[in-house]
Copies of this chain bind each other. A is one copy, B any other.
């Protein structure tokens, strides 16, 4: 019986979330790289796994699944050794995590993703830069960071909704926010400077998931540095 297979590219933020989740929870897996810069995700062979032609996707012994949040929820439920804090069984606690994950799709995700793609990364994917779209995304990104600060980091615990340990929402949002490293460490520092609680939260996620969080972000850091040279 083979292992769980992850189809990912560590340059993609939702891919990193899945890889880190498996490493942090000791879930045996094989990582199959789908190289976005080479267009592997658009090949027929990969579209047989994820017809949307996006990463990540998984093959859990014949069960194919895409959409990173669906994958994180699934792994939290299907693998019995995953601790409850990742996706709490309590219906109200779970609902708050679901709320953040759904909010993410139309806020932090298009903010951060839209900015990095349109300001710097589009040529890597064979598309033109678009400063108007980048500027719009940047407004959304800043508003989203402010929301994280005021809505979900307004309680005692270090993690979202005041939890003492990270959930899949912390992981997904932290990986997304890290994507702005494409614009430089300085840009990230400036972005977070009005929101020390968000900076503290991001550090807490990295620390709670050490060494995996740092390790899995190496490709992003290296790629961003090479790109900006």
Contacts and interface: CB of A to CB of B under 8 A. Distances in A.
Given A63-B92, A77-B91, A78-B91, A102 B105 contact: yes
B98 A73 contact: yes
B151 A67 contact: no
A92 B126 CA distance: 36
Interface residues of A, number: 29
A75 to B, nearest CB: 9
Would you call the interface of chain A mostly helix, strand, loop, or mixed? Answer: helix
Contacts of A69: 98, 102
A102 B70 contact: yes
A69, A96, A99, A103: most-surrounded residue (chain B CB, <10 A): A99
Given A77-B94, A94-B77, A105-B106, A99 B151 contact: no
A6 to B, nearest CB: 15
A65 B102 contact: no
Contact of A98 (B74, B103, B147): B74
Interface of A: 51-52, 63, 65-71, 73-74, 77-78, 91-92, 94-96, 98-99, 101-103, 105-106, 147, 150-151
